Chains A and B, each alone.
Chain A
Amino acid sequence: MFEKPLGMRDTLPELYETKDHVRSSIEEEMKRWGYQFIETPALEYYETVGAASAILDQQLFKLLDQQGHTLVLRPDMTAPIARVAASKLLKDDMPLRLAYSANVYRAQQREGGRPAEFEQIGVECIGDGTVSADGEVIALMISSIKEAGLADFQVSVGHIGFVQEFFREILGTEERANALMKFLYEKNYVGYREHVKSLSLSSIDKQRLLEFLQLRGGEEVIKLAFKLIENGCGAEAVRQLRQLWETISDYGEEASVKFDLTLVSHMSYYTGILFEVYAGSVGFPIGNGGRYDLLMQKFGKTTGATGFALRLDRMIEALGTLEKSEPVICILFSDERRKEAFEIAKAKRADGMRVVLQDINGVNNVDACTNKYADTIFLLGSAGRRPSS
């Protein structure tokens, strides 16, 4: 056995077919929405793209180039695309709609069960700060997932700007808001509630902070959120969420969407509406996305952007059944009938069939060969004679 580095996986033919099928159905949908696919290099500079990406430093694969610069294997696609968009594509002040399907790399130290290299398919809508753009990427994500054949999934939408403003208004300082925010990042609601109780706040404000954890559900969450805020802090964010709900309803996709204002992301570049998507049978989100208006600044452009990425490996896990691969026919031929075999193969291939041409002299075990293929045509000896077994 030749071992592979931790978290690296092979894609064998059957899985490849499935991946290919899922990938192309998603890609086709993205293209139908007018998104243009691009590719970026697998290696980027650590100091620029590595630092701009939101992946933890210890998860980056790093290496040195011949001049001693530190490089990273791209841990996500959003930062590289922001780099390309800022330096090359954003010229005529028009929203850009870009898409990608690419492998990204995140080192795993703890255990197996999680790949260190996996494919993401996603889009970035750059240069459009409207809620319409947020709605568009969510609707496109839903539509792509449906195109891939997945029915049982749910999108949870939050707003990081709302959380930040709401906490800052009640707690007064950025520092105290961040302390509370940390509990949300750690998903530690017990710690959150204990921390709130320990704060020197009015009982009304404490109650507001505790009720914040309940802001999860359907359209009604918007009303609840409006009730919780005071002095207009966070109102703009809630208005955006309401507009988003209307937008998604106009797309007819509201059945797949729920609000969860407690949702925060380890992707620290998000600034506004953000979301995750889950499928029933998979223990991890199958995709996520959101608005990242400040990331473009790191590459010298002040413009808004939003996007999402779906994880192909988890999509396939959610879909469950492996795609039955197309049947392959085998033509076993001997020298005498080689030309005939080639002609038949050519004709069948022109009809879209998958045909293997196999010289009988290259096969030791004819039975194993015939078992491997859906059908086998023997073109052996002189014309019209069956092979002697």
Chain B
Amino acid sequence: MSELVTVAMPKGRIFEEAVELLRMAGYRLPPEFEDSRKLIIDVEEERMRFILAKPMDVLTYVEHGVADLGIAGKDVMLEEERDVYELLDLKISHCYLAVAGLPNTKMNDVAPKIATKYPNVAAAYFREQGEQVEIIKLNGSIELAPLIGLSDRIVDIVSTGRTLKENGLVEYERIVDITSRLVVNPVSYRMKDERISELVERLSTVIEGEAVRQP
């Protein structure tokens, strides 16, 4: 019997695409997989255990080794800088990190304020631009901040741009493109080498096939 591998999956946006990808790679996940409210799902016939976590927490589970593998957005990886191997670009959940704000506005000269869910990424970006800013950490609905005067700009992920538009915000700069990645704990990468290599190979085949189909 092969070793059990534990995979941390992000709830929400990425989840369904990730499940689809695993199915395309030939993993037999039960049909009720997506609808379950369970936080731990065992798929005995694949010797896999899935844990469903907040996207920001996937890396924490993997770094501490309670999950061998995880699927995480590059945005979270840039923000958290966890000690895990980034093995594969799954090329799902495309989006990008951007600076946005109210149209035709300038940032405050004295103390420009940036609201974001990604304080480290935002701080690093403005440092590189040579701008001194003050970061305000928010946990969601970042678009509110400039609307009600909490900040001059926001740094957030943009996928279609609809949320920005509907709230009357415009994009100022694009920071970096984001896709989801397969990450692995450094110990699991060695101790469960065979199972992980197999998963990586099967997923790569699917991803490359997809790339050919949708150039």
Which residues of A pack against B, CB within 8 Å? 111, 113, 154, 156, 186-191, 194, 216-217, 258, 260, 276, 278-280, 282-285
Given that A187-B83, A187-B86, A190-B88 are known contacts, is A283 also in contact with B65, CB under 8 Å in the complex?
yes
Q: Does A190 lie within 8 Å of B181, measured CB to CB? A: yes
B178 located at the interface, meaning its Cβ lies under 8 Å from any Cβ of chain A in the complex: no
Taken together as a complex, chains A and B put the C-alpha atoms of A190 and B72 apart, in Å, by 13
Residue with the highest number of chain A CB atoms closer than 10 Å, among B84, B85, B190? B190
Number of A-B contacts (CB under 8 A): 50
Q: Does B181 lie within 8 Å of A284, measured CB to CB? A: no
For A279, the chain B residues whose CB sits under 8 A away are 187
Question: 14 extra interchain contacts, Cβ-Cβ under 8 A, other than A190-B89, A260-B190, A283-B187?
Answer: A154-B191, A156-B190, A186-B86, A187-B186, A189-B85, A189-B87, A190-B86, A190-B88, A194-B89, A258-B193, A278-B186, A278-B187, A283-B185, A285-B186
Q: Does B187 lie within 8 Å of A187, measured CB to CB? A: no
Which residues of B pack against A, CB within 8 Å? 60, 63-66, 83-89, 181, 185-188, 190-191, 193
Residue of A nearest to B68 (CB): A283
Q: Does B64 lie within 8 Å of A113, measured CB to CB? A: yes
Taken together as a complex, chains A and B put the C-alpha atoms of A217 and B193 apart, in Å, by 9
Taken together as a complex, chains A and B put the C-alpha atoms of A284 and B190 apart, in Å, by 11
Q: Does A187 lie within 8 Å of B84, measured CB to CB? A: yes
Question: Chain B contact residues: over half helix, strand or loop, or mixed?
Answer: mixed
Give the Cβ gap from B118 to chain A, nearest Cβ, in Å.
Answer: 16
Q: Does B85 lie within 8 Å of A187, measured CB to CB? A: yes
Residue of A nearest to B185 (CB): A283
Give the Cβ gap from A214 to chain B, nearest Cβ, in Å.
Answer: 9
Residue contacts A-B, CB under 8 angstroms, 12 given? A154-B190, A154-B191, A217-B193, A260-B190, A276-B190, A278-B190, A278-B191, A280-B191, A283-B65, A283-B185, A283-B188, A285-B186
Q: Does B66 lie within 8 Å of A283, measured CB to CB? A: yes
Given that A113-B64, A190-B89, A190-B181 are known contacts, is A282 also in contact with B187, CB under 8 Å in the complex?
yes
Taken together as a complex, chains A and B put the C-alpha atoms of A186 and B80 apart, in Å, by 12
Give the Cβ gap from A338 to chain B, nearest Cβ, in Å.
Answer: 54
For A280, the chain B residues whose CB sits under 8 A away are 191
Taken together as a complex, chains A and B put the C-alpha atoms of A278 and B66 apart, in Å, by 14
Q: Does B64 lie within 8 Å of A283, measured CB to CB? A: yes
